[in-house]
Structure 1
């Protein structure tokens, strides 16, 4: 059977003649571009680093609207190239980049979402101006992103609707998404910058552009996109690295700005670490920079001073090596430095003035702190938590990368790694009083006594922060009393900047790990973003004439809508639960997302092999598997060997995907209008992504109850006509024209 391009895919389609190949290419392109924008926009425009799933939601909206309007012109130039060119131009121009980067400060006046470098103004009108300006700029960015994905949705909707083999077409779509995921992961592993990402995107987009005179403008826009993406990444710095997690910029410290250390490291355009030379020789040779009062008593030295004979020292959140350097200065025989970001380790090796990572006494471990706790078999005299703050969330959840490090369960595991007489020292930049109170409350619950606490000010010895000490406090107090200079310094700090502690703040747990929320509530900013999403939907409805389509929304659309919402929530919940057992690394996130896509392929295979499998039985298995995961504590598998742990945890968390995949493909194969069915599914995924905020109130586990409920609604809304349709088999294979 040949494929007639004029009738099957539209006169304005310029992609490959082979529909199967075209579905694969547009699927790779769509997923790759989605990950590209999530990563880059959240880096340069920091409000999306805190609300990263907002970009994910907007991408789903664009793809969904594209599928709904797949019969309209694809309009790659108007709806993809021009908005993408304009978006990158805004990031490339320093003035507009700075304005967009300050959106987070504009919206920080709401006060209920902790944002670095918040700017709180007392004047009501000024605060209102900043709020409106921040929301308008955010809305502008959302409009650009949603338009970018509409042509890709139109291409995908047309191609799948035109393909004579539904199971094969959808399987190719999923396989393309899997390749797109790992292609971006590979570039992240190789620390490639955005200009390389855009070149790869351009390669896949070439297959769908019109060639000839009319296509010259498209190629000029693509060239401009690549050039401006290169310009956007240029900064006056020693080195710029795009790690698997974040953008790292290393600069020499400025004397005019009175920055501590020889080098300063920023993460996503925010000050993050100073690479300090606190060797005795350097400190004594610069008495104008280093006060004699704090000599040998920096925040990095303190954990080792508080123990009488420390022989083993564990640092989680080791960064570029300041803590490890202190261990070397104190002649610690065994130092373990755990850091999640391989690029930060690399910078520490090459630029830290004391070269701590070159020492044979230092073992550098590239891992998530929580994952290391689960597998570590050693004991330590001193465990130090560095200034862990990821400044960012993952692309799929509301939890920042460091949230699970500071839960009650995590600190209980850290306590179990202490040698007799050992201590834990936790440093944290508590931007609000409730954060310090939360840390103290968790430690008091875990150790059954109030921790010692004081605030170290910023100086050339370090950026300071609130220090909490727990463990063998009797010995700790003796160490302080025996060091009169240290005791006097602590007393001075406590008098100068006391840390008020009430021990009443809700503690964080693996089920509710949100350090930066005072209470289980949805922040006001999330409600405002939901309102903007509604306005964006109205705008798209009018601009793309969606009124008639939505007025013809049928029962089958609701069926696919609920399947999409449940699927996205299940994927989010999988990543959150897997992070507890496997760690919150980029590898874990990529493996879980890939596992979900692989399970969809497995479901498609099973649906083809067992076409008469009763859907009611599948639904029962689906809902029961969700409820089983609700009661199952995956952290109990954290002590298994890593490969076994990945197989067990990955298999359990993705098991419901097999059953839901069977339900989806059975319905999708026989529905009339596969483009609008897919659009309804993507709109449902959008709603599922927005429902993530419910976990702020209910906790991570309760998300599974929402998933089970949504799947139940999809069962109720499955039209009887779909159930009566024979499942297609033995479909002819499309020929290559």
Structure 2
């Protein structure tokens, strides 16, 4: 940068020009918004229609990053993939719908809850195929964004790209709030792709998108199919007799709940439903909390046992609605029942009520928190800290119980050990057949009556899950081979694709710092998603607010860089490392002790200060690039590496990811190009 440029105000420098062709800006906004909408929709829809993919939707996210990066590289060439995008999206939807496939998830390294036949290709084969398919589909809309970047000053383009991304997230969040069927996002995506192509290509593009629209329309009109913010929900009326209505509820293709009358479940169904009440020596049930209330069967059982008031908590509003509409016991219409649509751990944070009985009633999920490869909707519900919180919400004579079909003996032993660590004495453990188990423990050991002496585990008990390592279903040890093979394949595919479209990798050497910035940023975002899920719940709304908040902070960093003379890069990098150090030192447990607003303000400052500073550094560096398309594409490809590194949280925990983030940012600083010994973006 010349001395003359240094004396200019930021908005006077060429790289910060604010005047832009309005048509290019609107095209950029539309391209960015539809790109984000398709990405989020595919994460939801593919996870709902490829059996067991909902446990691996992070690979759809990684495929999106590759596709966006490739789109920016294609934008530098004379040919275009955009006219084929609608057809490619239709082909992906048609193939998924007409030729359903399931991912085989046998094995015990990590437990995946499923009542469906675990047959089909292995995950290491299916996931790279899904990864490639998503990348090809997203490359077309990303190409639009990349071509707009070439016509605008770097920071002007980045600014409107962020605005479009926020619009895409807002649109998808609104669809989630309305629980809109899949046809809604399909129509929006098809219409946007028609608008983005040249006028002479619009009829062909519209016809190519018809296949997708028809498939999604057929899915929407299928009896019993509805959508919650988390799942594709399918209800089947099994049968109806004098005892009541029996309904099966499947989510994402997996049988999830069977709703039947309370009396039938107590007398003819699994023993687990009556065991918690048999283990409580003190029988008062003035106040009961049921986490995982679902369609209401456990609530009806508690009422039949004499509960005077039940707080019924479930994260999924649609499943609760099904229970309110179809459960023949009518538990949700009972004035003794209060419904709460919330994450169970978040409910415990916000309530100071004490209970005679707290039940974790089969609260297993079939979905990940978006943006986090190993956090499921219930992950923070089974940590040692969570059970300590449950203990604090019990009356002196209160009892806590959890039951499920746990799949593996080591998981039963682990949960029993977690209860013992949280309560200070051994629980009652009833194995009711086929790895079904009930773990019951009283606040005072005198108030629990175990039928048999505590069982002796056949092997070493896995240590309790913690809030920093909330991986209940991960047995420990090395990373599962399935992850290593799959991630290795994805990285190899990415390298080959980038080499084919971008030319020799050495040509991207000037942007190596941006590559590591991309990896660090995604890893930092993932860590913040995990922290906010712990502090405020794993609900879809919290997740959407975190994603939106990150984009707002990035946009604020861009506007700061455009309008204010920011400190030199070495100062910014030092501030980044200092903010990461503060975030590392502050234990999230300290924040959990705060009331809501102080907790929100503190968590926001800790999470978003490093993001804000890092994007000041990125904006300064990006503004000084000669080729915005290549620079932004390389940054996105770095995000793929960050997404792969996130699986390392299984070994390190989420807190230690901040060390990895700091090392990546330090490496980016070292690799920032210099002229005459001075950083080019200083």
Q: Offset of 1:47 from its aligned partner?
A: 3.5
Residue 81 of structure 2 is aligned to residue 75 of structure 1: yes
Shift of 1:638: 2.8
Please name the residue that 1:484 is paired with. none
Task: Sort the Cα spacing of 1:47 and 1:329 in 2 relative to 1 into closer, same or farther, 3 A.
Answer: closer
Residue aligning to 1:61:
66
**CA offsets 1:499-538 (integer angstroms, 9 cap, x no match):** 9565621210011111111114321111121132134225
Task: Tell me the equivalent position of 1:124.
Answer: none
Secondary structure, in 3 states, of the residue corresponding to 1:466?
strand
Please name the residue that 1:92 is paired with. Answer: 97
Quickly say closer, same or farther: Cα 1:296–1:90, change in 2 above 3 A: closer
TM-score by length of 2: 0.90
Quote the residue 1:265 is aligned against: 249
Q: Write the deviation string for residues 442-483 of structure 1: whole angstroms up to 9, x where unpaired.
A: 01111122111112358xxxxx931001115655555x7xxx
Aligned to 1:219: 206
1:465-614 counterparts in 2 under 5 A?
465-472=436-443, 474-478=445-449, 500=457, 502=459, 504-537=461-494, 539-541=496-498, 544-548=500-504, 550-555=505-510, 557-614=511-568
The one of 688, 697, 711 equivalent to 2:642 is 688
* 1:30-58 Cα distance to aligned partner (Å, 9 max, x none): 11111011111111113321111111111
Residues 1:116 and 2:139 are matched in the alignment: no
After TM superposition, give the deviation of residue 62 of structure 1 in Å: 1.0
* In the alignment, structure 1 residue 450 sits paired with structure 2 residue 439: no
1:422 corresponds in structure 2 to 398
Task: Answer whether contact 1:317 1:388 (CA < 8 A) is retained.
Answer: yes
Q: Secondary structure at the match of 2:196?
A: coil
Q: What is the aligned counterpart of 2:668 among 710, 714, 723?
A: 714
Separation in structure 2 between the aligned mates of residue 361 and residue 270 of structure 1, nearest angstrom: 32
Q: Distance in 1 between matches of 2:647 and 2:55?
A: 13
Normalised TM-score (structure 1) = 0.84
Q: Specify whether residues 672 and 560 from structure 1 end up closer, same or farther in structure 2 by C-alpha distance, changes over 3 A only.
A: same
Check if 1:40 corresponds to 2:27. no
Task: Report the CA distance between 1:639 and its aligned residue.
Answer: 4.6
Offset of residue 298 of structure 1: 5.0
**Shift of residue 299, structure 1, vs aligned partner:** 3.2
- The offset of 1:232, in angstroms, is 3.9
State the partner residue of 1:401: 377
Q: 1:665 to 1:444 in 2, by over 3 A?
A: same
- Give secondary structure in 1 for the equivalent of 2:655: coil
Aligned to 1:431: 407
- The 1:178–1:296 alpha-carbon spacing in structure 2 relative to 1, beyond 3 Å, is closer
Cα distance in 2, alignment partners of residues 503 and 41 from structure 1: 38
1:142 to 2:111 alignment = no
Partner of residue 319 from structure 1, selected from 294, 304, 309? 294
Q: Which residue pairs with 2:152 in the alignment?
A: 163
Aligned length: 656
2:358 is aligned with 1:383 = yes
Change in Cα spacing, 1:558 to 1:262, as seen in structure 2 (3 Å) is same
Q: CA–CA distance in 1 between the matches of 2:533 and 2:124?
A: 32
Between the aligned partners of 2:443 and 2:598, the Cα distance in structure 1 is 36
CA distance in 1, matches of 2:255, 2:158: 45
Partner of 2:18: none
Give the deviation of 1:195 after TM superposition.
1.1
CA distance in 2, matches of 1:364, 1:501: 41
Matched, 1:342 2:348: no
Q: Deviations over 1:314-362 (max 9, x none)?
A: 1111111112111211221121111111111111111111111111111
Distance in 1 between residues matched to 2:225 and 2:270, nearest whole Å: 32
Question: Does the Cα contact within 8 Å between 2:82 and 2:143 map onto a contact in 1?
Answer: no
Q: Which one is further off, 695-704 or 597-606? A: 597-606
Shift of 1:609: 3.1
Corresponding residue of 2:234? 249
Contact 2:275/2:438 (CA < 8 Å) preserved in 1? no
From the superposition, tell whether residues 692 and 297 of structure 1 become closer, same or farther in structure 2 (CA, over 3 Å): closer
CA contact (8 A) 2:73 2:501 kept: no
Cα distance in 2, alignment partners of residues 514 and 594 from structure 1? 26
Once the 2 structures are TM-superposed, how far is the Cα of residue 297 of structure 1 from its aligned partner?
Answer: 9.1
- Structure 2 CA distance for partners of 1:673 and 1:109, relative to 1, 3 Å: same
Q: Where does residue 218 of structure 2 map in the other structure?
A: 231
The separation in 2 between residues aligned to 1:501 and 1:584, in whole angstroms, is 34
Q: Which runs of 5+ in 1 are unaligned?
A: 1-15, 122-126, 284-289, 459-463, 481-486, 728-737
The verdict on how the C-alpha distance between 1:690 and 1:295 changes in structure 2, with shifts beyond 3 A counting, is: closer
Q: Secondary structure at the match of 1:58?
A: helix
Decide whether the 8 Å contact of 1:195 with 1:229 is kept in 2: yes
